[in-house]
């Protein structure tokens, strides 16, 4: 799914699942200017901290490609597990996390040595992954489990699960610049959940319940209704608005995070899946 990442040149916004390639788009001209071959059925991707490489999950061949963004050449492929989907780069040390849906696993990859350094079992069909700004923890949306898996990114260990309210099928993830709020799209739940990370980090239980589920602290700051089948999400550069790609209603929701309300929806093409915000917020 197209997603801008820190260090990505605004004139290069990759992603093209149907062509098994990485599309290079001139954002100013809004034109596809090149297409680079990657693995089979590319899914999500992330950009290295220095903006030099793209890391792409290739669903059909259970691998992650490493693409040089200057030349378009594949620098390497790392084997993971079946149905890799989400990709995230640790902002602290540059390690790459790849979620694999079939067996409920997350692979930690050293991109310099191009090898797997850890495998974390999350269960629940993991879809997307996001890191705290300091890189100390990773949060993985686990669709079928209805929870967000919390991983200690230093030890590569699963520490807890944040169980979302009934009906939530978590898909996309984003985090505020200060790390105080985690945003999770709920798929068929047609909403975005805002999780209070200060409350989460204060808990010591391996299973954390959110509002309306079991006992314990109310960890959700808000649940905001959006369009149907909210999938990919993205924050604008100011962190004041959040956008969701709504796959079943063919639109994009614009959410004001201060008022916790959906402002409006923008009609787009059929089945929107991913979303990216350019550095200028356009």
197: which DSSP letter? H
Full set of structural domains in the chain with CATH: 1-121 (2.130.10.10), 130-282 (2.130.10.10)
Q: How far is CA 110 from the centre of its chain?
A: 19
87 neighbors 44 (Cβ within 8 angstroms): yes
Rounded to an integer, what distance in angstroms lies between the CA atom of residue 83 and that of residue 60?
7
Rounded to an integer, what distance in angstroms lies between the CA atom of residue 65 and that of residue 51?
15
| pLDDT digit string (tens) for the chain, length 282 residues | 444 433 333 333 444 445 678 888 888 888 999 999 898 999 999 999 999 999 999 999 999 999 999 999 999 999 999 999 999 999 999 999 999 999 999 999 999 999 999 999 999 999 999 999 999 999 999 999 999 999 999 999 999 999 898 899 999 999 999 999 999 999 999 999 999 998 887 777 676 665 554 444 578 889 999 999 999 999 999 999 999 999 999 999 999 999 999 999 999 999 999 998 877 656
Rounded to an integer, what distance in angstroms lies between the CA atom of residue 123 and that of residue 105?
6
Q: What is the pTM of this model?
A: 0.89
Side by side, the strands of the sheet bearing 42-47 are 42-47, 53-58, 63-68, 74-79
Helix, coil or strand: residue 133: coil
Residue 199: enclosing H or E segment and its boundaries?
helix 197-202
């Amino acid at each position: 799914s197209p997603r801008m990442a820190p260090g990505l040149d605004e004139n290069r916004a990759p992603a093209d699942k149907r062509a098994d390639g990485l599309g290079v788009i001139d954002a100013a001209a809004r034109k596809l200017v090149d297409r680079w071959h990657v693995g089979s059925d590319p899914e999500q991707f992330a950009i290295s901290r220095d903006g030099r490489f793209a890391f792409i999950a290739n669903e059909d061949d259970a691998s992650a490609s490493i693409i040089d963004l200057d030349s378009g050449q594949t620098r390497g492929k790392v084997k993971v597990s079946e149905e890799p989907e989400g990709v995230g780069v640790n902002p602290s040390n540059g390690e790459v996390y790849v979620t694999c849906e079939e067996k409920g696993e997350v692979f930690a990859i050293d991109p310099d040595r191009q090898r797997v350094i850890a495998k974390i079992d999350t269960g629940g069909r993991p879809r997307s992954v996001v890191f705290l700004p300091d890189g100390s923890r990773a949060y993985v949306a686990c669709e079928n489990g209805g929870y967000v898996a919390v991983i200690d990114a230093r030890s590569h260990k699963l520490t807890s699960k944040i169980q979302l309210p009934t009906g939530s099928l978590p898909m996309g993830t984003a985090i505020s610049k200060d790390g105080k709020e985690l945003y999770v799209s709920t798929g068929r739940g047609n909403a975005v959940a805002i999780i209070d990370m200060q409350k989460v980090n204060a808990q010591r239980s391996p299973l954390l319940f959110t509002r309306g589920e079991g006992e314990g602290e109310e960890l959700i700051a808000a649940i905001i209704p959006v369009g149907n089948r909210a999938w990919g999400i993205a924050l604008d550069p100011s962190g004041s608005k959040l956008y969701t790609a709504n796959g079943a209603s063919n639109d994009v929701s614009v959410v004001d995070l201060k008022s916790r309300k959906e402002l409006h929806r923008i009609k787009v093409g059929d089945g929107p899946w991913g979303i990216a915000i350019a550095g200028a917020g356009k």
